[in-house]
Amino acid sequence: MEASSGWRCRPGGRLDMSHGFVRHIRRNQIARDAYERAVRQARGRARGRLPQTPPRPRRPDQQVYRPRRPGGAGGDSSPGPPPGDPRGPRLFCLEYEGDDGHVTAVIVHQGDSAEEVTRRVCARSPLEPALRRALCQRVQEELSKRRGTG
């Protein structure tokens, strides 16, 4: 069958690639690869040209809170509870941040009651009665959890 519309067909149904379109695409690909290779080499040379200066001294590490381990083997230099403390060992440190941004920290011992801890917090940072009750309830939950009764 002869193609009458001017199409050139080759035997076997393959396309006629003699028009040069594919050659232009291939030439552009080769040029792009060469350009990318040149850019990578330039970056490598630019990195090598920087003067070798000693690294700047780092800022001192920020202090990190490390809680004491039970039994007094904490590994940090903070003093433990006095030897004859009637309230028992420390359980946790309660920190309360008021509306003004002021933080009140109170150490809670095993022998403390929730009401006593709440009273100590309120002595430093006055609270409304509703907040005082909520704080007392939360302290009671934490004490129960840490004493193993909750």
- Residue 89 near residue 68, CB atoms below 8 Å: no
31 falls within a domain = yes
134 falls within a domain = yes
7 falls within a domain = no
Residue 97: strand pairing partners: 103
The domain containing residue 102 runs over which residues?
A: 90-147
- Residue 114 near residue 136, CB atoms below 8 Å: yes
Q: What 3-state class would DSSP assign to 106?
A: strand
4 falls within a domain = no
78 falls within a domain = no
114 falls within a domain = yes
Q: Residue 90: what pLDDT?
A: 84
Residues 93-135: tens digit of each pLDDT: 888 888 888 888 888 888 888 999 999 988 888 888 998 999 9
Supply 106's token pair: 């109170």
Q: Residue 134: what pLDDT?
A: 92
104 falls within a domain = yes
Domain count, the chain: 2
Q: How confident is the model at residue 147 (pLDDT cuts 50, 70, 90)?
A: confident
pTM summary value:
0.42
Opening angle at CA 138, ends 93 and 108, nearest 5: 25
